[in-house]
Amino acid sequence: MEKRVTFGSWTIGILFAVPQLLLIFTFFYWPAGQAVYWSLTLQQPWGGGNIWVGLDNFRSILANADYWNSITASLVFAGISTGLAMFVALVLAALTDRQLAGSWLYRVVLIWPYGIAAPALALAFRFILAPEAGFMAVVNQVWPGFWDPGLDGADAMASIIIAFSWKYVGYNFIFFLAAFQAIPRSLIEAAAMDGSGVMRRFWDIQFPLITPTIFFLLVINITESFQDSFGIVDIMTSGGPANATNLMVYKIYSDGFKGLDYSGAAAQSIILMLLIIVLTIFQFRFIERRVHYR
């Protein structure tokens, strides 16, 4: 029989909830409310009050071609980095689940990258992918000018995608491996006895059963690609060259803290939040219907 903890007074439950409610209010609702207010006013860069301007900040941003380029770059970055990180993690988890030689080592090592802070990760990849040193220097010696993130926007975008994907492969790997190991072995063994090959068992049995995990990771990875990419962009490319990697989250920082356009940065943060909400709703509305819940 299930045991439940009950309290004699409802005030005890309220007291338990108050710390969490205070944290949510302090670190989410209050900053979000301030951002909405700032986006509707013209804040003075050095203080001294503000002027109510309504939606003028949003009109100015949406009329700026550079901001639309930032949105495009963010969508490209989110789509490619999410797909790459999830695909690599899925393959590694499937191989580890088969208990190949050394799988115990992969299980431990592949988790480590997610524990590395984004700036430290970006600094490491900045040296690894530098055109004048390391592996890419060897490639440039064979094909001069093949790789130069400092001058070529496509190379710069590829470099931050590689760094971000490498970080989230470990995160995705944990969930994929757990999903694979939750599948009853009897199903896999029965399919093998029926003559199904490895790929047939994967597509017909394992893949449908892990679709809830795939959907969960898709939502998380896309959301994080818009939010957790700042440190990587700041260290590796600083939004360049020619704004090729000036993602939305980095443009908020550069316009607000470098350009001192606090109101414009606040309006951009609201647009970014709304974009993430729209993408999340889209995924739940049109992608979740393909998920097979057990």
Q: What is the mean pLDDT of residues 231-248?
A: 92
CA 32: distance to chain centroid?
20
Q: What spatial distance separates the first Cα and last Cα of the chain, rounded to whole Å?
A: 25
Task: With a cut of 70, say whether residue 96 has pLDDT above it.
Answer: yes
**What's the pLDDT at 101?**
61
What does each C-alpha distance from 74 to 223, 247, 263, 266 come to in angstroms?
Answer: 11, 5, 21, 18
Task: With a cut of 60, say whether residue 1 has pLDDT above it.
Answer: no
pLDDT digits (tens, 9 = 90+) for 255-294: 988 888 889 999 999 999 999 999 999 988 888 777 766 6
Continuous H helices in the chain: 10-24, 30-39, 56-62, 65-97, 103-109, 118-128, 134-142, 153-181, 185-193, 198-201, 207-209, 211-227, 230-236, 248-253, 262-282
Q: What is the mean pLDDT of residues 44-54?
A: 77
> 56-288 belongs to which homologous superfamily?
MetI-like (1.10.3720.10)
**What's the pLDDT at 61?**
93
pLDDT digits (tens, 9 = 90+) for 97-127: 876 666 667 667 777 777 888 888 999 998 8
Of the pLDDT bands very low, low, confident and very high (cuts 50, 70, 90), residue 245 is very high
Structural domain boundaries in the chain: 1-52, 56-288
Q: Output the pTM of the full model.
A: 0.87
Q: 185, 183, 172, 182: which is closest to 87 by C-alpha?
A: 172
**What's the pLDDT at 139?**
85
Q: 227, 238, 117, 97: which is closest to 174 by C-alpha?
A: 97
- Give me the count of residues in the chain: 294
Exposed/middle/buried for 207, CB within 10 Å: 0-12, 13-18, 19+? Answer: middle
